[in-house]
Amino acid sequence: MKALQEHLNKWLLVYVVVAMTLGITLGYPNAAWTKANQSFVSNLTTLVVFLVVYPMMVNLKIEALVKAGRNIKGLSLAVLYNFLWAPLIGWGLTALFLRDPHLALGFLLVMVVPCSSMSIAYTGLADGNIELATVSVALSFVLAVFAVPLWMTLFATHYQVVAPLQDMLVTILTVLVAPMILGYLTRLALVRWLGEKKFKQLQPFFPSLSLLAMYGIVFVIFFSKATMILEKWQMVLTLLVPIALFYALTLAMVTWLNRRLGLSYRDHMAIVFASTGKNNGTAIAIATLAFSPLAAIPAATMPIFQILFLVSYLKMANWVRGYFEAHPG
């Protein structure tokens, strides 16, 4: 199971590109079938997204939120980066580069969704503070229940698009709250049944399941919207610049500010990955179910850039460590 998880992480970029390519290749000639079976495709999307989020929740210890008081500075920074910096920088980038309101809303939605549990894995690989990363991820999922409807209502008003508040709340309950509760109960049941030691051996299976489901949701999105993507490829191409700028600016700003604020290298690594790695599966679900399939395109293409930037940053870990140790406080 550990080998499977490492394989899926290592080849994440390849599998995402394959899922996108297969989706378009199979979806374009079957556009009539997709149109005639929209209800089935919608239900399949909801199911696959649930399978993206639910396994993440099995590995998260909700009790870890109680420990957040041990690192108020780090946790506060993670919340500010996720729910203030990302939406505001995202709004600025959409104003500069994106004209289609639904595409802009989809990009902004990615900015306000909770951070990905993959950030915990990146933190571990960088020898960062895994406990702080875990708390940041768990807290971000809780805060997202309130932050996502608030920000998206504001953004939708700006773009003169009706914000489906009720649909957003139902979707958040479906893809965030329900998996969180079920994941927590699953964890309790497995620990009681297998014991803590055997459960830890099983843990790598859950991130692997999340990754497989994410590939599935990328395939479904590109399959169902293959005609639109091919006919409006120039519009999709416009996402490249704002997505790349978001990652570059956020990684640079968080690194500089965290060092200025006196964070240790280990705490910084937990915060930087939790602040930059977005939960694209959740964004796809909310966009598809609450807004429009077009709004899901930014979240579906985001993993390509996310893996490139975060893996590149991970490979800079020795330089980052030296930067923090040479400029403490």
Q: For residues 253-261, give the mean pLDDT.
A: 95
DSSP code for 221? H
Do 140 and 115 meet the contact criterion of CB atoms below 8 Å apart? yes
7, part of any domain: no
Whether 227 is in a domain gets the answer no
Q: Within a domain: residue 118?
A: yes
Q: Are 56 and 207 in contact (CB under 8 A)?
A: yes
Answer yes or no: is 28 within a domain. no
Q: Indicate whether 17 belongs to any domain.
A: no
Tell me the pTM: 0.68
Compute the average pLDDT of residues 13-24.
Answer: 84
User: 175 in a domain, yes or no?
Assistant: yes
Tokens found for residue 320: 């980052």
**98 inside domain:** yes
Q: Report the SS3 class of residue 303.
A: helix
Q: Please give the tally of structural domains in the chain.
A: 1
Distances (CA, A) of 171 to 91, 188, 189, 283, 293: 23, 25, 26, 10, 14
Domain CATH for 187 = 1.20.1530.20
- Cα-based distances in Å from 16 to 9, 92, 120, 247, 280: 11, 27, 20, 18, 12
What is the predicted pLDDT for the residue at 67? Answer: 62
Look at residues 304, 210, 252 and name the one whose alpha carbon lies nearest to residue 81.
252
What is the average per-residue pLDDT within 315-326?
Answer: 88
Q: Which H or E run includes 185? A: helix 178-194
Contact between 73 and 263 (Cβ < 8 Å): yes
Q: Which domain holds residue 262?
A: 60-205+234-324
pLDDT of residue 210: 75
Residue type for position 111: M
Phi, psi dihedrals of residue 314, rounded to the nearest 5°: -60, -40
3-state class (DSSP) for residue 115 = strand
Q: Is 279 helix (H, G, I), strand (E, B) or coil?
A: coil
Mean pLDDT value across residues 11-22: 82
- Mean pLDDT, rounded, for 203-221: 78
Q: Are 229 and 222 in contact (CB under 8 A)?
A: yes
DSSP 278: B
Cα 61 off chain centre by: 19
> Which range has the top average pLDDT, 250-254, 292-296, 312-316?
250-254
> Would you say residue 5 lies in a domain?
no
- The alpha-carbon radius of gyration of the chain (Å, integer) is 19
